[in-house]
Structure 1
Amino acid sequence: MDEKKVGGSFIIDDVDYDSVVTPDDFTQEQRMIAETTKDFIDGEILPQDEAIESLNYDLTVNLLQKAGELGLLSADVPEQYEGLGLDKVSSTLISERFSKASSFGLSVGAHVGIGTLPIVYFGTEEQKKKYLPPLASGRKIAAYCLTEPSSGSDALGAKTTATLSEDGKHYILNGTKQFITNAAFADIFIVYAKVNGTDFSTFIIERTMEGVSIGPEEKKMGIKGSSTCPLILEDVKVPTENLLWEVGKGHLIAFNILNIGRFKLAAGCLGASKDTIELASAYANERVQFKQPISSFALVRKKLAEMNIRAYVLDSMVYRTAGLIDSSMKDIDFNSSDAGVASAKAIAEYALECSINKVFGSETLDFLADEGVQIHGGYGFINEYKIERLYRDSRINRIFEGTNEINRLLIPGTLFKRAMKGDLPLMQKAQKLQEELLTFIPQRTFEGLLEQEQYMIKMAKKMFLMIGGIAVQKYQEELETEQEILSHLADIMIQVYAAESAFLRTKKLIAKQGEEKVANAIAMTQIFVHESFETIESLAKDSLAAMESGDMLKAQLSVLKKLARRTPINTVVLKRQIAERVISAEKYVV
């Protein structure tokens, strides 16, 4: 990757395919890491699947330690603390592969991500030396403790308190944390509390500290093989050296770790999406009705094609974003005194893209799991079939790491804040567009391959600028209360990032392999760009109708109609071609 891109700039700038990382760029070493992860899951986890799902703590801990011995827990831990210090693309590959391990994958994800990364990014040298080696090896297991019974999305409304002792050597913590993954067997807890009831701060708490106790297991809809319990703190004396970073900086740690958590969640959704396609296509070939396999029926084939298209798009988004995060974090010196500040800044750079991945990834997996159950028919409702579990397990992803509603508010909110600070020339571009639209004439003919799709992505960005510009002018500081408009703007940005990610990946594939060899990727890109463009136009219309009326609304709709002009493509034929390949391979295909 060349120069570092400004977070959110994709919505106003053209992006060159050479500047993005794609799944087709993996090095031999990265592929080997992915294969090692797959072999571990196939050999160690899947044979124990039933025992893990029945919440066998000892088995889960034992398997976590085995994963640690293989280096699968240490990808994000720097080498000087006995980690592998891998790039984000490599650690993303591990996260994606672990999704096949169902609940165990969640246990791993909570440990290596939100459990360990706060110390990697914000810990002192002493904290890193003490905690990272055992966390990297699996000798100690981590948990992340932010949610409380009365504060979920409103994380800063936490009631857990931390009071400095009279001798200044300890903080006394009191409170309850809710829905803590790995709580039943975790050794290290990253806990958020308010010092003096006001300063939101972060602490490293050990299970063995007096006053730490664990509540009963929650009985959950899905992810049943993962531990989810309350953490109860009663006058817990935490040494002052276990304060993470500084008093009052807890929100920066929490939100930036959540950004990484959102991205890793999307990688997990990607892996589960591919698993779903494998299960559904194999079953469609096996199940015979009316004397033929149901994979021969057009509507089943259509489902499999649409599932594969969305997985291809998510695949493209996830590794594009991994490349961006790599570019942002590659120069951080984790030994320096300002590592915390540098880490917070680097992660925050692509907070918006992390939220986009989280929303699109979780909703893609929900769509695929739902269609997977439908293809299985009545058997999809029986827990003997893994698709039933995938359906239940997928639902939590839209709630984890900040609900999708919260993330939809964060996406445009973050963009507008960046623009106000002068990091992005958003309003200047919106102003320039208003002048351009007075004489705008849409392009009518397209000759080159994917030329119309490239044009449509450009027009989609103009639609965003048009709607966003009107919204800012109309509501100004009050825009943050117009949640429906913000949600529409978020959805337009999500669709643009998704469509552009697929387009850039396919253009890169064409340049490397030629058109004939990547006909499937071309078809998937064409379909997704056209279908997402329809979605974007509909969102823009709804937004205009909410903000304008009378002649002004008619005038704006007339402009939108020009921006939205396109020649439809035959998606029926293209989806049949894609389905043929999925059914033949019985798995996700590019």
Structure 2
Amino acid sequence: MIERGTKMMGEKIIGGSFIINDVDYNSVITPEDFTEEQRMIGETTKDFIEGEILPQDEAIESLNYDLTVKLLQKAGELGLLSADVPEQYEGLGLDKISSTLISERLSKASSFGLSLGAHVGIGTLPIVYFGTEEQKKKYLPLLASGEKIAAYCLTEPSSGSDALGAKTTATLSEDGKHYILNGTKQFITNAAFADIFIVYAKVNGTDFSTFIVERTMEGVSIGSEEEKMGIKGSSTCPLILEEVKVPAENLLWEVGKGHLIAFNILNIGRFKLAAGCLGSSKDTIEEASAYANERVQFKQPISSFSLIRRKIAEMNTKAYVLDSMVYRTAGLIDSSMKAIDFSRSDAGVASAKAIAEYALECSINKVFGSETLDFIADEGVQIHGGYGFIKEYKIERIYRDSRINRIFEGTNEINRLLIPGTLIKRAMKDELPLMQKAQQLQEELLTFMPQRTFTGLLEQEEYLIKMAKKIFLMIGGLAVQKYQQKLDSEQEILSHLADIMIQVYAAESAFLRTKKRVAKEGEEKAANAIAMTQVFVHESFETIEALAKDSLAQVESGDRLSTQLSVLKKLARRTPINTIERKRQIAARVIAAEKYVV
């Protein structure tokens, strides 16, 4: 049974501020900061997966619903379903670092991990964050134990990314005691065996609202299982609602507040998805490195070949960066939510505000995490060669299962639009001095001279991160000046700005973690982390420079384009490092350990 851990404290940081401010490594949470209790929670999850789930993997993949529910209830007995449920509702009320560790370790359970993750995350959290006291007392103990299983019902046949375009309706009965729900929800995880459904519908066809619907209510039915490319052991069915009488007290929060619940729960879902991608990335590195040592070609293991080693080094480096991002963000969310009293009537307002604070960072984690896993899974298949295409090998399933993550919880395209959009909205509300910083930069660039020499450890990498932030402000400022209110329509520019922010957050997260580790353990013990940080910062900076050039060619022309390219050239000046040798060193350590190495 998991015991309640100690909450990790963190200094309050304004969401999105990383792109305009320097960040002290002491302000971020890293995996090296885990308490013994938190590590034990991770080990408990791992032991449960290896002892209870993996031996039943084939049956789970064949959609044995009874077995999945039985195993979910076993997880409930261990406390794996109650980490995010407050203690007063028979949960553990763990800190976000602990619940993130559970999400990461669950990845090894493949489809079962998705079933459990959907239940504890998007299925249960709407009631935790936005339920009334009566709703919490009624449902949360049952959900925490696994006696009842939850599902989240937002997507419809005609509305995916456009969630507010939903056609499911809710009409208040004449006596005011019930809402009558009609509509169909599509692609609902856990639908075949869920007991509680979080359903979004429009009251009177206009006010987007949220309801707690029970499976036993008359008019609730479940459609056929979808035959999916991957995650085959998870249930994915339509939910059909025909004249379903839902008690008025099952309205979640208030009429017309459904969009706030949906979007904020999706923010948490995006973050938890990134944690799952992290776990799968580590599992893939273990599979690929072990196979590379085992597979002999030309009388030597393929792990001895430089191009295979490069793949392994790049896989491990991206996983290290994602690892750094996920727990940095977990620390931010924890600091934002730790003061909320979920028994108060205003808990919904406080929850919405706290989650929204780091909505931008959650989207960044989702995009980077899902694309990192896809990269690592793809390289894992390549290392396996023809065997990677054969169902007998786990890497084949990892590859198929990974693809959904770029679609889940809002497509990566939608998230790329949300990232700069959220930042600009904050600036418009004077929550961030974004435009002031951009204006200051324009004045600074008149006399700007790039730094040419670097002597200290990671000094050039720190400088490049600072320059990357200036490049973002430069491109963003020019784009806002040109397009103003029409910037929303320039999706390519917004996507480029998002990608710059993603690369900055990723590079900075790795840099801060490594600096913190060097300060604590010394350079020798952190040698692998130093090499990975150097490689990633330099390669991500190349990406940022390319994105900036492409953006400038769209925003400017003629002499103005030439002038801005000259400015960019000064901001992007750097001395290349020997990434080939560093990758060889990284690969050697991973191959020797046959697992992810920090």
Residue 321 of structure 1 aligns with an amino acid whose one-letter code is T
Q: 1:232, CA displacement in angstroms? A: 0.1
For the pair 1:220 / 2:202, whether they are aligned, the reply is no
Q: Deviations over 1:497-517 (max 9, x none)?
A: 000000000000000000011
Task: Spell out the pairing of 1:191-340 with structure 2 (5 A cutoff).
Answer: 191-340=199-348
Task: Tell me which of 479, 484, 489 is aligned to 2:487.
Answer: 479
Query: Helix, strand or coil: the match of 2:197?
Result: strand
Q: State the alpha-carbon separation in 2 of the partners of residues 53 and 168 from structure 1.
A: 44
Q: 1:133, CA displacement in angstroms? A: 0.2
Q: State the alpha-carbon separation in 2 of the partners of residues 317 and 3 from structure 1.
A: 17
For the pair 1:346 / 2:342, whether they are aligned, the reply is no
Q: State the alpha-carbon separation in 2 of the partners of residues 518 and 14 from structure 1.
A: 23
Q: State the alpha-carbon separation in 2 of the partners of residues 234 and 145 from structure 1.
A: 15
Q: State the alpha-carbon separation in 1 of the partners of residues 485 and 86 from structure 2.
A: 42
Q: State the alpha-carbon separation in 2 of the partners of residues 206 and 436 from structure 1.
A: 60
What corresponds to 1:78 in structure 2? 86
For the pair 1:529 / 2:533, whether they are aligned, the reply is no
Query: Helix, strand or coil: the match of 1:171?
Result: strand
Q: State the alpha-carbon separation in 2 of the partners of residues 415 and 550 from structure 1.
A: 30
Q: Deviations over 1:463-510 (max 9, x none)?
A: 000000000000001000000000000000000000000000000000
Q: State the alpha-carbon separation in 2 of the partners of residues 364 and 425 from structure 1.
A: 31
Q: State the alpha-carbon separation in 2 of the partners of residues 56 and 379 from structure 1.
A: 28
Task: Spell out the pairing of 1:21-40 with structure 2 (5 A cutoff).
Answer: 21-40=29-48
What corresponds to 2:375 in structure 1? 367
Task: Spell out the pairing of 1:65-214 with structure 2 (5 A cutoff).
Answer: 65-214=73-222
Task: Tell me which of 580, 585, 588 is aligned to 1:577.
Answer: 585
Q: State the alpha-carbon separation in 2 of the partners of residues 460 and 551 from structure 1.
A: 24
For the pair 1:544 / 2:552, whether they are aligned, the reply is yes
Q: Deviations over 1:376-400 (max 9, x none)?
A: 0000000110000000000000000
For the pair 1:456 / 2:464, whether they are aligned, the reply is yes
Q: Judge conservation of contact 2:10–2:332 (CA < 8 Å) in 1.
A: no
Q: State the alpha-carbon separation in 1 of the partners of residues 339 and 91 from structure 2.
A: 18
What corresponds to 1:568 in structure 2? 576
Q: Deviations over 1:508-567 (max 9, x none)?
A: 000000001110000000000000000000000000001100000000000000000000
Percent identity of equivalent pairs: 89
Query: Helix, strand or coil: the match of 2:180?
Result: strand
Residue 506 of structure 1 aligns with an amino acid whose one-letter code is T
Q: Judge conservation of contact 2:507–2:533 (CA < 8 Å) in 1.
A: yes
Query: Helix, strand or coil: the match of 2:525?
Result: helix
Q: State the alpha-carbon separation in 2 of the partners of residues 161 and 550 from structure 1.
A: 54
Residue 92 of structure 2 aligns with an amino acid whose one-letter code is L
Q: State the alpha-carbon separation in 1 of the partners of residues 85 and 271 from structure 2.
A: 17
Q: Deviations over 1:122-174 (max 9, x none)?
A: 00000000000010000100000000000000000000000000111000000
Q: Judge conservation of contact 2:288–2:383 (CA < 8 Å) in 1.
A: yes
Q: Could you state the TM-score of these two structures normalised by the residue count of structure 2?
A: 0.98
Q: State the alpha-carbon separation in 1 of the partners of residues 447 and 163 from structure 2.
A: 48
What corresponds to 1:42 in structure 2? 50
Q: State the alpha-carbon separation in 2 of the partners of residues 380 and 517 from structure 1.
A: 34
For the pair 1:391 / 2:399, whether they are aligned, the reply is yes
Q: Judge conservation of contact 2:475–2:552 (CA < 8 Å) in 1.
A: yes
Q: 1:335, CA displacement in angstroms? A: 1.0
Query: Helix, strand or coil: the match of 2:322?
Result: helix
For the pair 1:557 / 2:571, whether they are aligned, the reply is no
Q: Deviations over 1:164-207 (max 9, x none)?
A: 00111000000000000000000000000000000000000000
Task: Tell me which of 382, 385, 389 is aligned to 2:390.
Answer: 382
Q: 1:2, CA displacement in angstroms? A: 4.4
Query: Helix, strand or coil: the match of 1:7?
Result: coil
Q: State the alpha-carbon separation in 1 of the partners of residues 377 and 422 from structure 2.
A: 31
Task: Tell me which of 485, 509, 530 is aligned to 2:517.
Answer: 509
Residue 69 of structure 1 aligns with an amino acid whose one-letter code is E
Residue 526 of structure 2 aligns with an amino acid whose one-letter code is V
For the pair 1:52 / 2:80, whether they are aligned, the reply is no
Query: Helix, strand or coil: the match of 1:516?
Result: coil
Q: Deviations over 1:330-352 (max 9, x none)?
A: 11011111000000000000000
Q: State the alpha-carbon separation in 2 of the partners of residues 448 and 296 from structure 1.
A: 33
Query: Helix, strand or coil: the match of 2:243?
Result: strand
Q: State the alpha-carbon separation in 2 of the partners of residues 53 and 377 from structure 1.
A: 24
Q: Deviations over 1:277-314 (max 9, x none)?
A: 00000000000011110000000000000000000000
Q: State the alpha-carbon separation in 1 of the partners of residues 556 and 284 from structure 2.
A: 43
Q: State the alpha-carbon separation in 2 of the partners of residues 347 and 384 from structure 1.
A: 42
Q: State the alpha-carbon separation in 1 of the partners of residues 341 and 432 from structure 2.
A: 27
Q: State the alpha-carbon separation in 1 of the partners of residues 595 and 200 from structure 2.
A: 42
Q: Judge conservation of contact 2:10–2:331 (CA < 8 Å) in 1.
A: no
Query: Helix, strand or coil: the match of 1:405?
Result: helix
Query: Helix, strand or coil: the match of 2:186?
Result: strand
Query: Helix, strand or coil: the match of 1:517?
Result: coil
Q: State the alpha-carbon separation in 2 of the partners of residues 322 and 3 from structure 1.
A: 13
Alignment RMSD (CA, Å):
0.4
Q: Deviations over 1:352-384 (max 9, x none)?
A: 000000000000000000000000000000011
Query: Helix, strand or coil: the match of 2:526?
Result: helix
Q: State the alpha-carbon separation in 1 of the partners of residues 334 and 387 from structure 2.
A: 43
Q: 1:3, CA displacement in angstroms? A: 2.7
Task: Tell me which of 578, 587, 590 is aligned to 2:595.
Answer: 587
Q: State the alpha-carbon separation in 1 of the partners of residues 441 and 174 from structure 2.
A: 61
Q: Deviations over 1:395-417 (max 9, x none)?
A: 00000000000000000000000
Q: Judge conservation of contact 2:285–2:595 (CA < 8 Å) in 1.
A: yes
Q: State the alpha-carbon separation in 2 of the partners of residues 52 and 369 from structure 1.
A: 22
Query: Helix, strand or coil: the match of 1:418?
Result: helix
Q: Deviations over 1:70-90 (max 9, x none)?
A: 000100000000000000000
**Change over 3 Å in CA distance of 1:264–1:2 after alignment to 2:** closer
What corresponds to 1:442 in structure 2? 450
Q: Deviations over 1:550-587 (max 9, x none)?
A: 00000000000000000000001000000000000000
Q: 1:217, CA displacement in angstroms? A: 0.1
Residue 177 of structure 1 aligns with an amino acid whose one-letter code is K
Residue 485 of structure 2 aligns with an amino acid whose one-letter code is E
Q: Judge conservation of contact 2:188–2:239 (CA < 8 Å) in 1.
A: yes
Q: Judge conservation of contact 2:271–2:365 (CA < 8 Å) in 1.
A: yes
User: After TM superposition, where is structure 1 displaced by more than 4 Å over at least 4 residues in a row?
Assistant: none
Aligned residues: 590
Q: Deviations over 1:4-45 (max 9, x none)?
A: 000000000000000000011000000000000000000000
Residue 200 of structure 1 aligns with an amino acid whose one-letter code is F
What corresponds to 2:3 in structure 1? none
Q: State the alpha-carbon separation in 2 of the partners of residues 386 and 108 from structure 1.
A: 21
What corresponds to 2:428 in structure 1? 420
